[in-house]
Homo-oligomer: A and B are copies of this chain.
Amino acid sequence: MTIDHLDGALLELLAQEPRIGVLEASRRLGVARGTVQARLDRLQSNGVIRGFGPDVDPAAIGYPVTAFATLEIKQGQGNDVRAHLTTVPEVLELHTTTGHGDMLCRLVARSNADLQRVIDRVVGFDGIVRASTAIVMENPVPLRIIPLVKQASGD
């Protein structure tokens, strides 16, 4: 799937003012309304735009501590561990990786003390051999996509 310049501009506009409508977007971009509608439909059916989920800040609902945990898994226990971690609400994200660990997950907690509880819950499962945790202090680059979109759409 390739992204042209209009697609890039549309994504950028949506990122900046997400509640914008199709009509307003077409005005800003200087194209016809139908064009914007068609591009949006295409971007969504191509899977470029997965959705417009509300971006909820965990800190604002009482979970200001973020951490990343690298997990080492017993051979053959991968599926069980996945299933286990899926049930823990504080696990926001889970990846299986190459390298020293086998999995990497993003955790949140109510406090540093609470993080211990979360980690105990995560690690308190038979298939997990070892976990090493890195607590996030700052987040100088929050999750972003626009620079990449610009690059992909030919700047």
Contacts and interface: CB of A to CB of B under 8 A. Distances in A.
A105 B140 CA distance: 10
User: What DSSP secondary structure best describes chain A's contact surface?
Assistant: mixed
A62 to B, nearest CB: 6
Say how many copies of this protein the assembly contains.
2
Interface residues of A, number: 69
A50 B60 CA distance: 10
Interface string A55-74: 11111111100101010000
Given A63-B152, A90-B148, A135 B97 contact: yes
Contacts of A53: 14-15, 18, 52, 55, 145
Contacts of A135: 97-99
